[in-house]
Amino acid sequence: MPTGDGLLARVHPPLGILTAAQLRAVAEAARLYGNGHIDITARGNLQIRGVSEGTACALAAHLTEAGLGDVRSDGGPQRLTLTSPLAGHDPDALIDAIALARAVEAMGLTIAGLSAKMLVAVESGGRWGLGEAEADLLIRPIAPSCVAIGLASETAHHWCPEVDVANAPQAIGRVLVAFVASEHRRMRDLDDTRRSSIAAIASGHVDGRADRQAPFPPPCGEGQRVGVVPLAAIGTSGTTPSSNSSPQGGGEPRSAMPPGFVRLGADLAAIVAEAPFGRCTADGLDAAAAIAGDKGVRCTPERGLVLLASPPRAEAILRSLNAAGFITDPADPRRAIAACPGAPACASGSTPVPEHAAHLAEAFAPFAARGLTAHVSGCAKGCAHPRPADLTLVAEDGLYRVVIDGAPGETGQPPSLTFEAALDRVRRADPARSLAGAFSS
């Protein structure tokens, strides 16, 4: 994919999990064939930036040798599913989400015509969830032996009748085949009639008529008992709840894991770190690979990494990841700000968005502490966070259009400002009051 800093090479780790050797291979590829910068996406994938026409083939061979090559050539999704980064290790999980996701991936490869953006989110029913992942299908456990399938709409999910876990891949397959026949790109684009028809097909009603009203499955608690703590608050139990509101990666206030440390058992802990604005370097990935050892690394929808280690190592690992450039404190104000690559990395941008976002984070910290969010967008598309934020700065010809409580495509408050002027208004704003007053004139 062409961008302002060259081609963008997408890497889709199977189930979002990489071995330490694979993570080192991505870092090496970024140095040899790109510009050394890597994005971690909201789908738990990686993107190597700065690739050229002359290095693209060598890069593809390098990734294929590492077991990270493309799995299909028909334009369909290279990775169909998204699971919690701790799927398979969550002590409260109701189902084996990894096994189900693997079966869905295998089934998806047999279906032609799937959109490249098609996404199936598989919850485990345990303590840690997926935040606000924008999936076409949401698979939610409602008991250890059965799941419900939710079809996305613009505002909610249309729930199919529950199915046994063993039969879920086939039911999901029927939904996807029916969706392909609709000739739409995303499930949310369907009208209610077509969505209801597809929901009925999930339960085996080939004529698209269901026998009964599908239930709405109650949340299983996934993500509601977050046990992540900042480094300074780590004690012997490692179970202090913590959360933070962040649009990073395109989410609303999240129930997924913020940075920190959480115990998974007497001998195992998960260490969570995020890449600032979803960007890291080859050196940062190398540092994570060196720490990971034989336990591997998992990419998160919060545009970060999860490492597994013994609890006594957690504090040292967090310090090492912080030194490598990752966010390890859930109160870090950068988590409250979404930002795209901007110029010159993106041809659509006209401002250095990550640099501006980092400066904005310092001034925005009191607002972030209140749970407010901001978005610095290189253009009106708002790729990093297309939904509303409390403060959105949209770059236009080197200036910023200011949108309060809105999305990048909405009309802003005139006049457009230089970044320095916008930053000054945030600095002078009263953290206890609305930001609207700071930009009212």
pLDDT tier for residue 191 given thresholds of 50, 70 and 90: very high
> What does the pLDDT read at residue 374?
98
Sorted by where each begins, the domain ranges of the chain are 2-65, 87-127+135-202, 248-330, 335-439
pLDDT in tens, 200-221: 888 775 444 444 444 444 444 3
Given a contact cutoff of 8 angstroms between Cβ atoms, the answer to whether 2 and 249 are in contact is no
Overall CATH class of domain 2-65? alpha beta
What is the model's pLDDT at position 231? 31
Percent of all residues in the chain with a pLDDT value above 70, rounded to a whole number: 88
Q: What is the pLDDT of residues 322-354, one digit of tens each?
A: 999 999 999 999 999 999 999 999 989 999 999
Domains 87-127+135-202 and 335-439 belong to one CATH topology: yes
Percentage of the residues of the chain whose pLDDT score is greater than 90:
77
Indicate if the pLDDT at residue 251 is higher than 60: no
pLDDT attached to residue 255: 57
pLDDT at 100: 98
Rounded to two decimals, the pTM is 0.86
- Confidence band (pLDDT; 50, 70, 90) for 104? very high
With cut-offs at 50, 70 and 90, classify the pLDDT of residue 295: confident
**Domain 87-127+135-202 CATH (choose: 3.40.140.10, 3.30.413.10, 3.40.80.10, 3.20.110.20):** 3.30.413.10
335-439 CATH, one of 3.30.413.10, 1.10.10.10, 3.40.50.2000, 2.60.40.1080 = 3.30.413.10
Model pLDDT, residue 130: 86
> What is the per-residue pLDDT for 205?
56
Looking at domain 248-330, its CATH class is: alpha beta
pLDDT digits (tens, 9 = 90+) for 217-248: 444 433 332 223 333 333 323 332 233 333 44
Enumerate residues 6+ apart whose C-beta is below 8 A from 314. 234, 238, 261, 269, 271
Q: Confidence class of residue 263 from pLDDT cuts 50, 70 and 90?
A: very high
Residue that wins the pLDDT comparison between 28 and 133: 28
pLDDT of residue 244: 33
Give me the residue label for tokens 């002590």: 91
Q: What is the mean pLDDT of residues 387-400?
A: 96
